[in-house]
Amino acid sequence: MVTIVNFKTFTKDNGENFFGLVVQGGIEVVKSQQTGKTYFTAKTATVPTTFDEQTCMGLIGTKLDGHVQKVECDPYDYTVKETGEIVELYHRYDYVSEEDFVVDTNLVQPQLAVH
């Protein structure tokens, strides 16, 4: 289950604006690799829409079936807001519908036969 928690405005190459909904997955318990302390977090993803700003505002708080899933991608630079540190990342987070999540997590990948 994900919750729509916000929306963002984006500008196309032609100057036209469009909106994306920010969805957040459930709470996750994580242990810090640096301190060893436990903390709570939740993954978020932004999903493009065809909605106007008013519709996006009205959808905040709506719950949807699905998950926010880590997906590998081409490397890109990301600036950590708190420290200003620039790190190279190889993943992003995407919204995945409940149906796609079930298929992705339960589908057995074909094995290559070695003769």
- Positive or negative torsion for Cα 15, 21, 25, 31: positive
User: Taking the model in full, what pTM does it have?
Assistant: 0.76
Contact 92, 75 (CB under 8 A): no
Whether residue 54 has pLDDT greater than 90: yes
Q: Which residues contact 24 (CB under 8 A, 6 or more apart)?
A: 2, 3, 5, 42, 43, 44, 68
pLDDT tens digit sequence for 56-109: 999 999 999 999 999 899 999 999 888 889 999 999 999 998 776 666 666 655
How long a stretch of residues is the chain?
Answer: 115
pLDDT tens digit sequence for 22-46: 999 999 998 888 888 999 999 999 9
Position 113 scores a pLDDT of 52
Coil/strand/helix, residue 112? coil
What distance in Å separates the CA atoms of residue 4 and residue 21, rounded to the nearest whole number? 7
What distance in Å separates the CA atoms of residue 26 and residue 19, rounded to the nearest whole number? 23
Position 108 scores a pLDDT of 58
